Chain A
Amino acid sequence: MFREWKEKEYIPPKQMLKLFIRGGFALSKVLLKNLGSLKEVRKEKVGYKPPERMYELPEYRPGMKFVKSDEKYLRPTLHCNPYSKEVIALANHLGAFEKEPYEYAKDAFEFTKRKIILQIVPLDSVEATLRRGYGTCLHKISLFIALCRVAGIKARYKLYALTMIQQWFDTFMADPLMQEWYDAMGYFMLHGEGEAYIDGKWIVADVGPTPERQAAAGIPITKFGEDSIGIWFQAIPGSIMRTESLPLGLTIASKLLMKKISPGSVAKMNNNVLKMYEKGRKILQEMGEEEYDKKARKGYKMPEIELEQKSIIFE
């Protein structure tokens, strides 16, 4: 079993492990230092109503096509089961096996980005995400990856630690405890994107933020193949990891943090995200998405770079 875990990259890579240890250490220190405030925060009753699902789940019918493979980047991994009925039904509904791989992956990207609302909840399966209609960026990436894998398109995670723009910082730093944790770490612990392998190239998919949240932050709406790093996020150098699976341990850690340690802080964050979503929805309604995006992109364009070796010799 250990061998399988290792092969599927359930065991976190060294960089990720370092990130978790540092994050855990920083959080423990913040909590120990602020036991009094923690008690207050935990006592605090925060009203929170989860958002409603924005779509109907397509019906699963036996005999629907799907690709079953044990190949790396195609097989099921932690919380990412491409063979679940919900995923197969949605993939067929989105046109898997009918459209060109790029077109299908793009539609899977658009669905995941637009229809799944960002809310902070403990990590769980892609089918649970689909049934619920919301989840963290990691839930959304897993869903995108599952939708690709079920259609025979290899897909993987691109995870990193980041510093973020002020508007998003304001949303997530819901109370002084969160702020102190962030300050102690110096960056937000883990964020990511999906990557799909099409025509010999890994294509990035920034499914995390909905267009509404991006509009509320005044930033462009990310398209399929467009990386958010360097425009509105800065990845901490050296923290970018590309893996087949989410790592083990993250589920327990997320449950502990969100359910036990400070559920009030999480509820506040989720409320902030929903407020931001509503604000963005109004902006897009008033301006139109195309016009908004055109305006947001003025003055923000970042050159794309394809690495060259030139005369560097690697030993």
Chain B
Amino acid sequence: MIKFEDYIKNLNKKLHKYIPNPMTPAEEALYKPLDLFNVPKKEAEEYKFRAIKYAFKHHYENNSFYKKFCKENSVTPDDIKSIDDFSKIPLIPDKFYKNYPSGKEFAMWLATVYTGELPNIVVKKNDSHDEIINKFNDAGLVISYSSGTSGIHTFIPRDQRTFNSAEYGIAKSLITMLYPFWEPDINGYLFMPNPFKTNVFAGKVCSVYFDVIKDVQVALDRELTADLIQAAMQNNLKGRIIRYAMQRENKKMINRIINWIRKNYKEGNKVGMVGAPFILYFVMEELERNGESFDFGERGAVGTGGGWKIYEDKRLPVKEFREKVEKLLGIPPENCLDLYGMVEGNGWMVHCPEGHYLHVPTTYYHAMVLDENGEQVSYGEKGRFAFLDGLATSYPSFIISGDEVRMLEHCPACERETPVLEPEVKRAKGDEMRGCAEEMRRVLSMDLGR
């Protein structure tokens, strides 16, 4: 079996274009450690303190709205002297990034939220959200957004450097946990929108998948824009036509994926399937209906992420999902891992194969669990997930999320050094999907669920 050190070195060779030189302290904390989830506590804290302090100082000095927010909270970078002081760093509710104007003011909102100077960008008065984003992206930025299942997209302005870190981070985190499964000579299927045809973050960040393995197929190969998602959510003729077209396309998609599975199984290839769990769920449902199953064994791996979105009603507990994967694809539970992350951050929590607890990276990312008053709760208590992310240089990524979690200081199932979140993450009370979520359910579900 390949040594872990060589395994990660091989990955770094494949991803050399993502690794910057020179590095910021946060980048050092991402790129230098061999195993992000197994850095000794003292060393991890040294990395983390430098990474977060650097990021906080950077945003304080170069972002006017965040500086004002810090002043209102009477905090300056000089107040951050140790990790214990991280609790003083003002956190931004995730809803902040959902609260943007439209038209030319949207461009100004992106510019204001962005930390530092921007290149010249020409915007027309009547440009749509997507047109404005594309203009920013043409100028070298990577603006992306959430899937918008709550009815409103979250827009995040990353620069290329931050986006590279997010991509490298997701690949390294998942591949680390899948050790020794990964090798470049794998065939992959991405259950996401085509990263090169969308600005939806969950899809876009997966472009790194094309750099780590030799052949990748994409489930949703059409162009997916914010305007299209919004239009599809409408209950009018245009919305219905879009939904009808999607419905037809989705049936074909499931058949394409099944044919790909059949072909690779027959040829004895190693396969990696990555992406939204609900797509694989619908594939497995179809296999079950056909009375068909496979036995990939150690030749297969599944990495899921992004949650169940509009298919919340179909959500399987992660354990049942793994059992279904094992039953129908023959992929063992150790090779079926879920991943938790969000558009506002660049940290990726990944299941360990031993117990499927979500391990939190600790070198560049500081995770917290807060009660309703914004106070940190002890390990083992439930609360709202919050984090300080050192990797984001283009926007302040010090966030209180709408997710409810329980964090444990040590993993009950493995010896890795990092704290863990319990395997399932849910929306906190009051942050459940509302409104357009019901409409979105109609957009993509249709025949997939039947």
Contacts and interface: CB of A to CB of B under 8 A. Distances in A.
On whether the two chains bind one another, the answer is yes
Interface of A: 22, 25-26, 29, 163-167, 169, 182-187, 229-231, 234-238, 240, 295, 298-315
A299 B112 contact: no
Nearest to A308: B112
B448 interface: no
Interface in B74-130: 90, 92-93, 95-96, 98-109, 111-114, 117-125, 129
Contact of B95 (A25, A234, A305): A234
Contacts of A311: 111, 117-121
A310 B118 contact: yes
A304 B234 CA distance: 31
B438 interface: yes
Contact of B69 (A234, A303, A308): A303
A166 B432 contact: yes
Contacts of B430: 165-167
Nearest to B226: A237
Please list the 6 inter-chain residue pairs (A to B) with the smallest Cβ-Cβ separation, ordered nearest first. A299-B374, A238-B102, A230-B99, A303-B69, A298-B373, A186-B436
Contacts of A301: 72-73, 90, 93
Contacts of B122: 312-315
A312 B151 contact: no
Interface centre among A169, A234, A312 (most CB of B within 10 A): A312
Nearest to A217: B430
A306 to B, nearest CB: 7
Given A299-B370, A312-B108, A312-B111, A229 B68 contact: no
B179 to A, nearest CB: 38
B429 A304 contact: no
Given A302-B93, A310-B118, A315 B438 contact: no
Q: How large is the interface on B (under 10, 10 to 19, 20 to 34, 35 or more residues)?
A: 35 or more
Contacts of B436: 163, 186-187
Contact of B435 (A29, A163, A167): A163
B124 A315 contact: yes
B435 A182 contact: yes
B198 to A, nearest CB: 19
24 contacts: A163-B435, A165-B430, A185-B235, A186-B151, A187-B151, A187-B435, A229-B99, A230-B95, A234-B98, A234-B99, A237-B100, A300-B374, A302-B99, A307-B101, A307-B109, A308-B108, A310-B117, A312-B107, A312-B118, A313-B120, A314-B104, A314-B107, A314-B123, A315-B123
B426 to A, nearest CB: 14
B220 interface: no
Contact of B373 (A182, A237, A295, A312): A295
B101 A237 contact: yes
Contacts of B92: 302-303
Contacts of B113: 305
